[in-house]
Amino acid sequence: MARADGRSRFGAAGRLALFPARAAARVSRGPLEAAADEHLVPELSKLADRAMASDLPEELARSVAEHQVLERMAVKLAENGALDSAVEKALASPRTKETMDRLVNSDAVRQSIKDVVASPEVRAAIAEQSTGLVEALAADISRRAVKLDDRIEARARRRPRSDRSSFAGVATRGVVLVLDALAIASVFVVLAGLLALISYLVGGFRPTWLAAALLGTGWALVAGTYLVLFWSGAGRTPGMHVMHLRVRDRTGRPPSIGRAIVRAAATWISIVPFFLGYASVLFDERRRGVPDLVAGTEVVYDER
């Protein structure tokens, strides 16, 4: 008890002895803060301005990059889960959702999206992608048709060829026929529409049999012109281009206009009796049909 009383008296005496120093510190704190605001803060501001105007920021940035400070911080945050937690909290925040809704529905963002979609670069990229898709599809169909050519011929001859033929077979010719027929029909529909418009403006064609005769003649004329122009000019029709085929004469060149006309007429004759004019393709060594035998032409795979 005596020791406790001694400590109590000593503590009270100590606090009493230190009271003047504490009071002086409280009194002097106000003048010290005022002096710091008046002299120290301006000097520190000047030092900070000088540091920012010097190469210090660049050096700090370079040092941060060299020592991969940001990468290390990101790795550390990812390891302890702090980064994921912060991102999840930010995404789950109602304020974030509200801000994103305002941003997405703003007129500026909508106009920016319209400008990007309508830009020439995006259109060119879409066109290039579409063209590449069509070309890939055509190449796949062509490869399958070439394999089918060999299978059909092997079954018809009851023996396969010893090597791959360079001449087009029945399958590829059939695909070409369908594609060209669609192209000819499209051209004919456009021309028929123009003639129908003219007929409407002039009061119609009379008699009726004349209109039917004009339609039949027009179809034959459109088909013949289509085939002759493409065969004699480019050596291939659009359908043959898709299937990588071309027609040539004995010299390896596209047929002349005369040969093309003969071939077009023979093609029509070969199609009418249930395509019997192309039966010889299965047995001829150069896979020639009646149109090729008559016009002196042959259809080959165009290796491009």
Instruction: Report which of residues 194 and 209 the model is more confident about.
Output: 194
Q: Quote the Cα angle for 22-28-34, to 5°.
A: 145
Examine residue 85 and state whether it is found in any structural domain, yes or no: no
CA distance readout (Å), 184 to 138, 216, 231, 294: 19, 13, 14, 23
User: What digits encode the pLDDT tens for the residues 28-71?
Assistant: 455 656 655 666 667 777 777 776 777 777 888 888 788 887 77
Examine residue 225 and state whether it is found in any structural domain, yes or no: yes
Examine residue 8 and state whether it is found in any structural domain, yes or no: no
d(CA 203, CA 288): 49
User: What digits encode the pLDDT tens for the residues 195-212?
Assistant: 888 888 877 766 777 777
Q: How many domains does the chain have?
A: 1
User: What digits encode the pLDDT tens for the residues 251-302?
Assistant: 999 999 999 999 999 999 999 988 999 999 999 999 999 999 999 999 999 8
Examine residue 91 and state whether it is found in any structural domain, yes or no: no
Phi-psi region of 163 (alpha: psi -120 to 50; beta: other; left: phi over 0): beta
Q: What is the residue type of 175?
A: V
Examine residue 151 and state whether it is found in any structural domain, yes or no: yes
Q: Per-residue pLDDT for 245 more than 60? A: yes
Examine residue 108 and state whether it is found in any structural domain, yes or no: no
User: What digits encode the pLDDT tens for the residues 103-161?
Assistant: 778 887 778 777 777 778 777 777 777 677 888 888 899 999 999 999 999 999 887 77
d(CA 278, CA 289): 5
Give the range of the structural domain holding residue 193, as residue numbers without chain letter.
Answer: 125-301
Examine residue 111 and state whether it is found in any structural domain, yes or no: no
d(CA 208, CA 39): 111
Examine residue 7 and state whether it is found in any structural domain, yes or no: no
pTM of the model: 0.60
What pLDDT is attached to residue 184?
96
